[in-house]
Amino acid sequence: MAAEVAVAVNGLTKVFKIPLEQRTRLRDHVVHLFRSPGHRRLEALKDVSLEIRRGEFFGIIGRNGSGKSTLLKILAGIYQPTQGKVKISGRLSPFIELGVGFNPELTARDNIFLNGAILGLDRKQVATQFDEILGFAELEDFVDQKLKNFSSGMLVRLAFSVAIRAHAEILLIDEVLAVGDFEFQQKCFNVFRQLKAEGRTIIFVSHDLSAISEFSNRVMVIDHGVVRGVYPPDEAIGEYHRLVEARIEPSFASPAQSGAEVPSVRAVGMFSNGAGPTHLVHRGNAATVRVSMVNPRRVPVNVGVAIYRSDGLYCFGTNTFISETPPPPEEQVEFEVHFSDVDLLRGSYYLLVGIFGEKVATVYEMKERAYEFRVDQNDDYEGAVFLPHTWRIRS
């Protein structure tokens, strides 16, 4: 039924004209007065159509530059579409550029009332929730400090804490928690759970695939402005990984790069349960990381693999120097590190792969985010790792 549709997008296209040269000074404009700088055409969105149902938590994922944020800004009314129509049924609150309207010369106290007014809250409504806003943001000790002295993390905490008080039926959320620390992100996720339980319509853009999987009813995958499809969360994440792999991950059978002088990583993959390469591991299962490396000069090398959580927490690291199992100095080497029991808890993670010499100080390559993966679980334990345990009642 039409009444159940909160957001309807039909044939949406957005084209930007990007100048081919920058003219930032008055002299540049005078010298080139009669010559157009010229433009190139960037089609950020191409014929996007979708319907989001009332009360749905709708995720949007895609590589950087795929058009996710452009779509949300059109829904928020920040950008106007080049073509197509958008129909919003309900009051909308964008969590896109948190803190817009904040005055850095005013205190946190004054800015809470100012931002509340921008979001449609009267002074009495803000005053009643003032302590809750400060408490959630954990900024009680800074309430009378000017915002210009706040860190970016403090600003996001304050802005988010005010924004969630708005009485909106539709929320647009675009990676606003990226600069928040892990504990604050978990508090925000608890808010998402509450808003979802209240039946709010939430459109959520994020690179945190664990959050996308947990919260979303459906997920849209977008690539270079084109909608690849709308799927259940796990199918969408699988499609996203296929897009990533098609662009950045070479085959394990790839030949060595011609002209390469130092040892380097050619490919990284993760395998679990005897299947092909996977980006999803269930807690408690075994997993194997496979690395393909080239070593044109056949110098002695060691290799390290480290696991990081998506927020940068260093979870675990191992290398062939510690384990005294250096790979043979051959031109092409493929090696594996096997984890018999992955006891990381639910979340998004990535691998760092490093190649160094006989001494740790001789670094040949340090490949950041060499492979991304997600850990899922079938229970509600929280934290970074699972520690086997038993409870005993003592009377």
Q: List the CATH number of the domain containing 334.
A: 2.70.50.60
Any domain includes 212 = no
DSSP 310: T
Query: Three-state DSSP class for 214?
Result: helix
pLDDT, greater one: 342 or 151: 342
pLDDT band at 253 (very low <50, low <70, confident <90, very high): very low
Q: Which domain holds residue 285?
A: 254-376
The predicted pLDDT at position 310 comes to 80
Does residue 293 fall inside a structural domain? Answer: yes
Instruction: Please give the pLDDT value at position 249.
Output: 43
| Residue with the larger pLDDT of the pair 276 and 83 | 83
Q: Is residue 304 part of a domain?
A: yes
Residue 389's pLDDT is what? 87
- Report whether pLDDT(281) > 50: yes
Quick one: CA dihedral 184, 187, 189, 195, positive or negative? negative
* CA pair distance 347, 306, nearest whole angstrom: 16
pLDDT at 335: 87
How is residue 206 written in tokens?
């994020």
Q: Where is pLDDT greater, at 250 or 173?
A: 173
pLDDT over threshold 60, residue 370? yes
Give the length of the chain.
Answer: 395
For residue 230, pLDDT beyond 90: yes
The answer to whether position 271 is within a domain reads: yes
Q: Are 169 and 90 in contact (CB under 8 A)?
A: yes
One-letter amino acid for residue 131 of the chain: D
Q: Is residue 331 part of a domain?
A: yes
Q: CA gyration radius for the chain?
A: 25
Q: Which candidate, 14, 309, 61, places its Cα nearest to that of 174?
A: 61
> Do residues 302 and 356 touch, judged by C-beta distance below 8 A?
yes
Q: Which of 125-129, 182-186, 262-266, 387-391 has the lowest mean pLDDT?
A: 182-186
pLDDT at 32: 53
Mean pLDDT of 366-381: 86
Work out the average pLDDT over 274-279: 78
Domain count, the chain: 1
- Confidence tier at 248 by pLDDT (50, 70, 90): very low
245, part of any domain:
no
Tell me whether residue 58 is in a domain.
no
Is 176:98 a contact under the CB 8 Å cutoff? yes
- Quick one: pLDDT at residue 250? 43
The number of helix segments (H) and strand segments (E) in the chain equals 8, 17
| Within a domain: 387 | no
